[in-house]
């Protein structure tokens, strides 16, 4: 078995070396055939119409590595908000508006390290107000995604996210807090803070 490990280690090291060599010293050779083909494509790009209705809508397809320690997000009351597409100010404006609103695409909201909702493009899932629901495992080495999706996603206890969050009054865009119409969690604020502070991922 040890022999196998060594073979893997050597294979990985060797392929890493090969890729590094391609990126650095191989650059000049690799760009030569490209250059002839980029000349016509540059001129056709210049003639192309300005991006308009044909541009794909902004969206975000999370990978596990995009989740971080929740303390890197912005705390609002007792949950954490971020935006991975540069719309943090808009997201915070909605979070801080007592009348609610629709969160911008790319917003991530977490109450605890193990659950997150992330706003997808408009129309992605009307049943969840376009939120993608995530059940996560957080450890000192990072995040793994246990499950993800829209209306069918369940948390680590097998409870369906949407069945609780859909009780939020519609102007609050699936965000429950304590006053938006959802049944309260059986956790008081002190316990929630303990769970938040125990996020094991690097700050």
Closer residue to ligand HEC in complex, CB, 42/157: 157
Residue 115 interacts with ligand HEC (CB under 6 A)?
yes
Stretch that binds ligand HEC, among 11-19, 53-61, 91-99, 154-162 (CB under 6 A): 154-162
Among 62, 106, 119, 134, indicate the residue that binds ligand HEC (CB under 6 A): 134
* Residue with smaller CB distance to ligand HEC, 91 or 117: 117
Interface residue with ligand HEC among 60, 79, 113, 130 (CB under 6 A) is: 79
Choice from 60, 88, 91, 133 touching ligand HEC (CB under 6 A): 133
Q: Which stretch binds ligand HEC (CB under 6 A): 29-37, 43-51, 61-69, 127-135?
A: 127-135
State in angstroms the smallest separation of the CB of 196 from ligand HEC: 11
Tokens of residue 76, six digits: 């609002």
d(CA 67, CA 52): 31
CA–CA gap between residue 56 and residue 145 (Å, rounded): 26
Q: How far is the CB of 41 from ligand HEC (least distance, A)?
A: 42
184 lies in the binding site for ligand HEC (CB under 6 A): yes
Sole window of 3-11, 32-40, 43-51, 171-179 interacting with ligand HEC (rule: CB under 6 A): 171-179
Q: Are strands 79-83 and 74-76 parallel, antiparallel or unpaired?
A: antiparallel
Query: Which own/partner pairs from 155-163 qualify as long-range (CB within 8 Å, at least 24 positions apart)?
Result: 155/114, 155/115, 156/114, 161/115, 161/117, 161/128, 161/133, 161/135, 162/127, 162/128, 162/133
- What stretches of the chain adopt beta strand conformation (E)? 74-76, 79-83, 107-110, 115-119, 131-139, 142-149
Element (H, E) at 8: helix 2-24
x/- track of binding to ligand HEC for residues 17-46 (CB under 6 A): ------------------------------
Report which of 138, 81, 87 is spatially closest to residue 110, judged by C-alpha positions: 81
């Amino acid at each position: 078995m040890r022999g196998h490990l060594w073979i893997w280690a050597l294979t990985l090291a060797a392929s890493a070396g090969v890729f590094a060599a391609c990126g650095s010293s191989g650059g000049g050779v690799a760009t030569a055939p490209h250059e002839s083909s980029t000349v016509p494509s540059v001129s056709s790009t210049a003639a192309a119409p300005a991006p308009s209705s044909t541009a794909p809508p902004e969206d975000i397809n999370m990978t596990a590595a995009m989740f971080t320690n929740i303390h890197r997000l912005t705390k609002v009351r007792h949950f954490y908000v971020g935006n991975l597409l540069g719309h943090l100010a808009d997201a915070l404006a909605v979070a801080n508006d007592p009348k609610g609103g629709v969160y911008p695409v790319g917003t991530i909201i977490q109450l605890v390290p193990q659950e997150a909702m992330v706003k997808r493009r408009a129309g992605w899932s009307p049943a969840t107000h376009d939120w993608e629901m995530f059940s996560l495992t957080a450890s000192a080495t990072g995040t793994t995604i246990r499950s993800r999706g829209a209306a069918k996603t369940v948390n680590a206890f097998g409870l369906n996210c949407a069945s609780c969050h859909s009780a939020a009054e519609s102007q609050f865009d699936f965000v429950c807090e304590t006053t938006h119409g959802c049944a309260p969690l059986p956790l008081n604020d002190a316990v929630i803070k303990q769970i938040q502070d125990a996020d094991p991922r690097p700050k």
